[in-house]
Amino acid sequence: MSQPKYLTGDKAGIDEFLSRFDVFLFDCDGAYDCKTPTPKPICVSSIGVLWSGDYLFDKVPETLEMLRSKGKQLVFVTNNSTKSRADYKKKFDKLGIPAKVEEVFGSSYSAAVYIARILKLPAPKNKVFVLGESGVEQELDAEGVQYVGGTDPSFRRDIEPEDFTKLADGSALDPDVGIVLSGLDFHMNYLKLATGFQYLQRGAVFLATNVDSTLPMAHSLFPGAGSSSAGLVKAFGKEALALGKPSQAMMDAIEGKFQFDRSRTCMVGDRMNTDIQFGIEGKLGGTLAVLTGVSSKEEFLSEGAPTVPMAYVDALGDLVA
Amino acid sequence: MSQPKYLTGDKAGIDEFLSRFDVFLFDCDGAYDCKTPTPKPICVSSIGVLWSGDYLFDKVPETLEMLRSKGKQLVFVTNNSTKSRADYKKKFDKLGIPAKVEEVFGSSYSAAVYIARILKLPAPKNKVFVLGESGVEQELDAEGVQYVGGTDPSFRRDIEPEDFTKLADGSALDPDVGIVLSGLDFHMNYLKLATGFQYLQRGAVFLATNVDSTLPMAHSLFPGAGSSSAGLVKAFGKEALALGKPSQAMMDAIEGKFQFDRSRTCMVGDRMNTDIQFGIEGKLGGTLAVLTGVSSKEEFLSEGAPTVPMAYVDALGDLVA
């Protein structure tokens, strides 16, 4: 495997690199670096490609504008399933990142696109039972996918003895549900878990928006979407197909939406084992690592590194510096 | 490995077998046999060693009385963590099984005994954060173990934005918690999950009453205790030490309570891969399989069967027939 090319300060190298691509996929998920779990985890603030916590990295808007001025298509990829693309756009606005709703590609939208454009179960048995927040529902709506569960208040209650009977005999189930979709659910409960498990036992397709084990929040780590679906995985004995990074089902969904040429597409990210791996496995034309995030230069430059990007910069803004 | 001895109808063989043991451990967990998941699982009623659903197998009370008359210690072992020993005693009474509270050994009690008599964390950091029902709390009370969480109504609510901050900075946590104990929780929610995860990140010992993936109820399968703890396992990235079968931690806890001689103890069960395996790994003097339950004779008589009991009977009542 060849060594990744270092582009910071190399104007000719940058121009040549950018000319190879029409589409850039940007990782948008920050992460905390948490160490020493006893007695209290010490976590540095959210780090990533575009921002760190509430701090936008230097020259990020200029870089994005430069890419747009060259006619590049930008796609902002995030595993956060609780927010819809419209919700995410608000976050971008707040941070000062110029972006359009159509450029945001979250794992909830990824799941909706996968269900509507790739899976395409025949009606009527193509309804979705949702475990998750309104972000999932908004994106299913956007793709015209019918669903039950989700934020429906009738599921936000304790399980009662008669629920066991009605779930077991199927009278509490919607016969048209053919898919169970699990995302990060701050309102998880046993009733939803048991309902989802009944649908799975009856043959429903098992999908997850993403399976990140943790969620960085408030300078600490909280249970992530993978933690929300873990109960179903344990009961059912099979993993869900994840529609978030690094699952290639997300790449297929992005392609289903943007119809891009993979050989002319570049993944930009800070994590070797998720972002860069995602681009390599997706057979994209290129990958670009930024060093403002989780993975260090040593990690992918070392002898026998499992994942090596095509090129790297110290920070995204170096592309216009 | 020698062939198991068939004892049904062999009075001399039964007498010789029984004379080898002072203590008999009985599996008490029924199971459903569910097949063909699509379009609807077909489940036969709960099957087991002592009963099937609400039906007590033939001559079970007589068999238990016969063993008691010979001075044998009986222990009824169950992974059901939602019920205390007192709750279970009521079930036994209803079914017509003569039993004493002291003879019941459930996974919640197992966990309490393990915490109080084996783990013995130094005070004050020996409090337990409970994810589970009142059965867990009753058994911790019985062993004088302090706990928080559990059925406390203040944890039965949605997580709020300020909870993230207070959990992250530790102000919502009890500094004396040194153990997280997860059992089957019909009132699971994200607040409890996030709280348990914070304690684990701060170094708490991670225990589970049991990790059964499913719970047979209403002639169907529902998420089991392993499904309740799966979210924590996924977030934390490590399995809990399970205090139920087939974990040997349960055998240690039974020994911690009854102080028995393992070589003079026999495990009686219907499942090769849990009950019989539990006895063999526990280096008990013997194991007795009954064929009224999950495993068939062919399963352990076949060439190269992974788990072989010392002896077997068609039904438990054959010991007095």
For B202-213, what is the mean pLDDT?
96
Query: Residue A194 and residue B159: Cβ atoms within 8 Å?
Result: no
Q: Rounded to an integer, what distance in angstroms lies between the CA atom of residue A216 and that of residue B115?
A: 32
Do β-strands A265-269 and B241-242 pair in parallel, antiparallel, or remain unpaired?
unpaired
Shortest alpha-carbon distance between residue A166 and chain B (Å) = 9
Indicate the range of A143-152, A159-168, B50-59, B172-181 predicted with least confidence. B50-59
Domains for chain A: give ranges and CATH numbers.
5-79+247-319 (3.40.50.1000), 121-242 (3.40.50.1000)
Q: How far is CA A305 from CA A291, A295, A297, A298, in A?
A: 16, 12, 11, 9
Residues of chain A in contact with residue B213, where contact means CB-CB under 8 angstroms, are: 234-235, 237
Q: Rounded to an integer, what distance in angstroms lies between the CA atom of residue B212 and that of residue B25?
A: 19
Shortest alpha-carbon distance between residue B274 and chain A (Å) = 17
Asked if B95 is an interface residue toward chain A (Cβ–Cβ < 8 A), one would say no
pLDDT category of residue A223 using cuts at 50, 70 and 90: very high
Query: Residue A202 and residue B226: Cβ atoms within 8 Å?
Result: no
Find the CB nearest B213 among A38, A221, A235.
A235
Residues of chain A in contact with residue B198, where contact means CB-CB under 8 angstroms, are: 220
Which value, to the nearest 10 degrees, does the dihedral of the CA atoms of residues A46, A50, A51, A56 take?
170
Contacts of B220 (CB under 8 A, 6+ apart): A164, A167, A168, A198, A201, B32, B34, B41, B43
Query: Residue A187 and residue B158: Cβ atoms within 8 Å?
Result: yes
Residues of chain B in contact with residue A34, where contact means CB-CB under 8 angstroms, are: 201
Could you say which of A10, A22, A141, A314 is catalytic?
A22
ipTM of this complex prediction, to 2 decimal places: 0.91
Query: Residue A217 and residue B164: Cβ atoms within 8 Å?
Result: yes
- Listed by number, the residues of chain A in 141-170 with a beta carbon closer than 8 Å to a beta carbon of chain B are 158-159, 164-165, 167-170
* Number of A–B residue contacts, CB under 8 Å: 148
Q: What is the DSSP letter of A119?
A: I
Residues of chain B in contact with residue A200, where contact means CB-CB under 8 angstroms, are: 37
Active site residues of B: 22
Q: Which residues pair with B286 in a beta bridge?
A: B266
Whether the pLDDT of residue A54 is over 80: the answer is no
For B99-110, what is the mean pLDDT?
94
Query: Residue B198 and residue A220: Cβ atoms within 8 Å?
Result: yes
Phi-psi region of B139 (alpha: psi -120 to 50; beta: other; left: phi over 0): alpha
Do β-strands B220-223 and B214-217 pair in parallel, antiparallel, or remain unpaired?
antiparallel
Shortest alpha-carbon distance between residue B298 and chain A (Å) = 25
Indicate the range of A12-26, A89-103, B22-36 predicted with least confidence. B22-36
Query: Residue A221 and residue B201: Cβ atoms within 8 Å?
Result: yes
Query: Residue B234 and residue A217: Cβ atoms within 8 Å?
Result: no
Query: Residue B164 and residue A189: Cβ atoms within 8 Å?
Result: no
Find the CB nearest B188 among A170, A190, A220.
A190
Task: Tell which residue, B18, B134, B39, B9, has the closest CA to residue B81.
Answer: B134
pLDDT at B36: 47
Per-residue buried b or exposed e for A180-200, using 16+ beta carbons within 10 Å of the residue's own CB: bbbbbbbbbbbbbbbbbbbbb
Q: Rounded to an integer, what distance in angstroms lies between the CA atom of residue B152 and that of residue B134?
A: 10
Whether the pLDDT of residue A32 is over 70: the answer is no
- Listed by number, the residues of chain A in 63-92 with a beta carbon closer than 8 Å to a beta carbon of chain B are none
pLDDT at B102: 94
Do β-strands A265-269 and A23-27 pair in parallel, antiparallel, or remain unpaired?
parallel
SS3 content of chain B, % helix, strand, coil (to 5): 40, 20, 40
Q: Rounded to an integer, what distance in angstroms lies between the CA atom of residue B115 and that of residue B259?
A: 16
pLDDT at A44: 55
Q: Rounded to an integer, what distance in angstroms lies between the CA atom of residue A21 and that of residue A38?
A: 46
Residues of chain B in contact with residue A194, where contact means CB-CB under 8 angstroms, are: 222-223
Residue B275: φ, ψ to 5°: -65, -55
- Do residues B310 and B21 make contact, with C-beta atoms less than 8 angstroms apart? no
Shortest alpha-carbon distance between residue B157 and chain A (Å) = 9
Contacts of A86 (CB under 8 A, 6+ apart): A101, A138
Asked if A230 is an interface residue toward chain B (Cβ–Cβ < 8 A), one would say yes
Q: Rounded to an integer, what distance in angstroms lies between the CA atom of residue B82 and that of residue B66?
A: 31
- Listed by number, the residues of chain B in 178-197 with a beta carbon closer than 8 Å to a beta carbon of chain A are 185-190, 193-194, 197
Tokens of B106: 């459930």
Query: Residue B235 and residue A220: Cβ atoms within 8 Å?
Result: no
Q: Rounded to an integer, what distance in angstroms lies between the CA atom of residue A171 and that of residue A165?
A: 8
pLDDT at B39: 52
Whether the pLDDT of residue A2 is over 90: the answer is no
pLDDT at B153: 97
Q: Consult the annotation and say whether A270 binds a ligand.
A: yes
Q: How far is CA B209 from CA A227, A236, B46, B203, B225, in A?
A: 19, 20, 21, 19, 8
**Nearest residue of A to residue B40 by CA position?**
A202
Residues of chain B in contact with residue A190, where contact means CB-CB under 8 angstroms, are: 185-188, 223
Task: Tell which residue, B226, B279, B311, has the closest CA to residue B15.
Answer: B311
Q: Rounded to an integer, what distance in angstroms lies between the CA atom of residue A112 and that of residue A139?
A: 6
pLDDT category of residue B35 using cuts at 50, 70 and 90: low
Q: Is the alpha carbon torsion for B15, B305, B223, B161 positive or negative?
A: positive
Interface with chain B: mutation pick from A227, A228, A232, A233, highest number of B CBs within 10 Å: A227
Burial of A37 (0-12, 13-18, 19+ CB in 10 A): middle
Query: Residue B223 and residue A186: Cβ atoms within 8 Å?
Result: no
Contacts of B264 (CB under 8 A, 6+ apart): B20, B21, B22, B23, B285
Residue B67: φ, ψ to 5°: -65, -45
What is the CA B259 to chain-centroid distance, rounded? 19
Residues of chain A in contact with residue B37, where contact means CB-CB under 8 angstroms, are: 200-203
Q: What letter represents residue A57's amino acid? A: F
Query: Residue B190 and residue A223: Cβ atoms within 8 Å?
Result: yes
Q: What is the pLDDT of residues A64-110, one digit of tens each?
A: 999 999 999 999 999 988 889 998 899 899 988 989 999 999 999 99
Q: What letter represents residue A2's amino acid? A: S
**Nearest residue of A to residue B178 by CA position?**
A39
Contacts of A262 (CB under 8 A, 6+ apart): A255, A282, A283, A284, A285
Asked if B264 is an interface residue toward chain A (Cβ–Cβ < 8 A), one would say no
Residues of chain B in contact with residue A210, where contact means CB-CB under 8 angstroms, are: none
Whether the pLDDT of residue B176 is over 80: the answer is yes
pLDDT category of residue B33 using cuts at 50, 70 and 90: low
pLDDT category of residue B271 using cuts at 50, 70 and 90: confident
pLDDT category of residue B32 using cuts at 50, 70 and 90: low
Indicate the range of A92-106, A201-215, B41-55, B183-197 predicted with least confidence. B41-55
Residue A130: φ, ψ to 5°: -100, 130
Q: Consult the annotation and say whether B245 binds a ligand.
A: yes
Q: Is the alpha carbon torsion for B274, B278, B279, B281 positive or negative?
A: positive
